[in-house]
């Protein structure tokens, strides 16, 4: 829908199996108009780099030209391979068919994406035959990512940075690196995390953002691939109804993701499991009262049964994980506890009502702001929320805010009520 409307959207691949992503990408590619722009997400998997490599293989094979890279703390070979695949020179300019949108919240990470691809990774790819010498030479003249997303207080993986401060600092960093590298094309810096209303979008543009992206609010859209019960829960959320839970893909590291806290206990329950993993060397070492409690309240089955289900899963997906668990009780504990973290997102997507209290729903405070803005308007109900309609409401509303600001800058006295831009389709102002 976004591609048909001339907007750029990314398929949310996080938490899905490779087969599910492959099926979705094939469906999207078959339905979008020829020449339309669309992309997909690429989440960093530090514990499982093979997943990242396989996903890049899929994106290259399906000619997914736009990728949103999230949760990265450094540059990987897979990222460089995607970015530099099929690059060539035409009329004195470097042509890059593939484009990376890098979500960053730290300057040291942004610096790596704004710089050219690391030479050591390029040489590795050259040695493997993934790139040729000409492509390696050209790659040293372009940034790894031409689009940087200043990710503020977002759903999922987030440092909950203040967007205004982050945006300005990244713009300064971009200017400094672009000048030092003499790039022919200056990288763009946009905003994400906290963009849930026309006012916040206008604020980002007023600070010089080249573009804005939305995330949490799109889960309430008619087109969203989650369950109706999740959409209903999200439509009831206020901006304070979020909390930090443990990230399923980085459980052993204690990394966190921002999730919905209203009507679900995922955040505290996942935190409890991580504390047990941190404090005990094995499942057997957990005291019986605690073990009984988590079996009854969280897993709803004996831990031995949970481990057996987890073992069967990993035997099919990555037998080495099961082999390691056989001689490492702490690793066995991690795989057992990760069963809950993985299932919690599946229960949410499928609408498993009996496990609603365990739903893992990535969400930032922007959703609550959108819900408040949409009250008593045409987009208040979930059934009216189409992804393009919401995007147009925000962008056209931002245009209205911009015109009000421009009028006041010219000295016009305007009534205060013009600041209350409604959540509707402002196409007549565009």
Q: Tell me the per-residue pLDDT of 60-92, one tens digit each, with 9 for 90 and over.
A: 999 999 999 999 999 999 999 999 999 999 998
Find the mean pLDDT for residues 309-326. 94
Does residue 59 sit in the same domain as residue 145?
yes
CA–CA distance, 203 with 167 (Å, rounded to integer): 11
- Say how many C-beta atoms besides its own lie within 10 A of residue 283's C-beta: 19
Does residue 209 sit in the same domain as residue 306?
no
Does residue 203 sit in the same domain as residue 101?
yes
Find the mean pLDDT for residues 105-124. 98
Question: What pLDDT is recorded for position 299?
Answer: 98
Residue-averaged pLDDT of the chain: 95
Q: What are phi and psi of 387, to 5 degrees?
A: -60, -40
Does residue 63 sit in the same domain as residue 198?
yes
Q: How confident is the model at residue 4 (pLDDT cuts 50, 70, 90)?
A: very high
Domain boundary among 341, 358, 375: 358
| Residue 219 covered by a domain | no
CA–CA distance, 98 with 220 (Å, rounded to integer): 30
CA–CA distance, 114 with 101 (Å, rounded to integer): 11
Find the mean pLDDT for residues 296-313. 97
Q: How confident is the model at residue 425 (pLDDT cuts 50, 70, 90)?
A: low
Does residue 190 sit in the same domain as residue 305?
no
Does residue 270 sit in the same domain as residue 184?
no
CATH number of the domain encompassing residue 43: 3.20.20.70
pTM above 0.85, yes or no: yes
Q: Which residues, 6+ apart, have CB-to-CB distance to 386 below 8 Å? A: 1, 221, 222, 223
| Residue 417 covered by a domain | no
DSSP state of 250: G
Q: Which residues, 6+ apart, have CB-to-CB distance to 426 below 8 Å? A: 392, 393, 396, 397, 399, 400
Find the mean pLDDT for residues 50-57. 95
Find the mean pLDDT for residues 275-304. 98
Question: What pLDDT is recorded for position 48?
Answer: 81
Find the mean pLDDT for residues 147-163. 95
Domain count across the chain: 2
pLDDT above 70 covers a percentage of the chain that reads: 99
| Residue 322 covered by a domain | yes
Does residue 192 sit in the same domain as residue 49?
yes
Does residue 185 sit in the same domain as residue 96?
yes
Q: Tell me the per-residue pLDDT of 271-288, one tens digit each, with 9 for 90 and over.
A: 999 999 999 999 999 999
Instruction: Say if residue 198's pLDDT is above 90.
Output: yes
| Residue 427 covered by a domain | no
Domain boundary among 312, 335, 358: 358
CA 362, chain centre distance (Å)? 9
Instruction: Say if residue 397's pLDDT is above 70.
Output: yes
CA–CA distance, 110 with 292 (Å, rounded to integer): 45
Domain assignment of residue 155, given as a range:
10-214
Question: What pLDDT is recorded for position 234?
Answer: 98
270 or 419: whose pLDDT is higher?
270
Q: What are phi and psi of 219, to 5 degrees?
A: -70, -15
CA–CA distance, 135 with 142 (Å, rounded to integer): 11
Find the mean pLDDT for residues 30-43. 94
Q: Tell me the per-residue pLDDT of 333-363, one tens digit each, with 9 for 90 and over.
A: 999 999 999 999 999 999 999 999 999 999 9
Does residue 200 sit in the same domain as residue 106?
yes
Does residue 277 sit in the same domain as residue 305?
yes
Instruction: Say if residue 157's pLDDT is above 50.
Output: yes
Find the mean pLDDT for residues 233-246. 97
Question: What pLDDT is recorded for position 426?
Answer: 55
């Amino acid at each position: 829908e976004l591609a048909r409307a001339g907007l750029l959207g990314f398929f949310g691949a996080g938490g899905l199996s490779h087969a599910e992503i492959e099926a979705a990408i094939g469906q999207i590619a078959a339905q979008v108009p020829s020449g339309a722009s669309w992309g997909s997400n690429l989440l960093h998997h530090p514990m499982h780099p093979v997943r990242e490599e396989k996903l890049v293989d899929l994106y290259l094979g399906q000619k997914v030209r736009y990728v949103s890279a999230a949760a990265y703390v450094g540059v990987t070979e897979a990222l460089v391979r995607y970015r530099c695949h099929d690059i060539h020179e035409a009329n004195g300019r470097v042509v890059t068919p593939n484009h990376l949108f890098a979500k960053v919240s730290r300057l040291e990470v942004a610096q790596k994406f704004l710089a050219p691809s690391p030479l050591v990774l390029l040489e590795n790819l050259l040695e493997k035959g993934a790139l040729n010498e000409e492509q390696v030479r050209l790659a040293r003249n372009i940034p790894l990512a031409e689009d940087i997303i200043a990710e503020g207080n977002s759903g999922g993986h987030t440092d909950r940075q203040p967007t205004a401060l982050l945006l300005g600092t990244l713009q300064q960093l971009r200017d400094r690196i672009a000048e030092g590298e003499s790039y022919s094309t200056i990288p763009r810096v946009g905003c994400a995390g906290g963009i849930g209303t026309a006012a916040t979008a206008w604020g980002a543009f007023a600070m010089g953002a080249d573009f804005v992206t939305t995330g949490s609010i799109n889960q309430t859209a008619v087109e969203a691939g989650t369950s109706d019960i999740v959409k209903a829960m999200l439509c009831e959320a206020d901006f304070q109804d979020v909390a930090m839970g443990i990230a399923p893909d980085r459980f052993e590291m204690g990394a966190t993701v921002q999730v919905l806290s209203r009507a679900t206990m995922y955040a505290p329950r996942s935190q409890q499991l991580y504390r047990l993993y941190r404090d005990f060397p094995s499942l057997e070492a957990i005291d019986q009262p605690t073990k009984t409690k988590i079996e009854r309240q969280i897993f709803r089955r004996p831990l031995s049964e949970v481990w057996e289900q987890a073992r069967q899963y990993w035997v099919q997906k990555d037998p080495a994980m099961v082999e390691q668990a056989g001689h490492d009780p702490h690793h066995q504990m991690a795989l057992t506890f990760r069963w809950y973290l993985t299932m919690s997102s599946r229960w949410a997507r499928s609408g498993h009502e009996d496990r609603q209290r365990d739903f893992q729903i990535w969400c930032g405070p922007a959703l609550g702001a959108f819900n408040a803005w949409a009250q008593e308007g045409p987009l208040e109900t979930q059934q009216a929320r189409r992804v393009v309609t919401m995007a147009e409401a925000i962008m056209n509303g931002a245009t209205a805010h911009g015109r009000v600001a421009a009028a006041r800058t010219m000295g016009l006295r305007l009534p205060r009520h013009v600041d209350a831009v409604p959540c509707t389709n402002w196409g007549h102002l565009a």
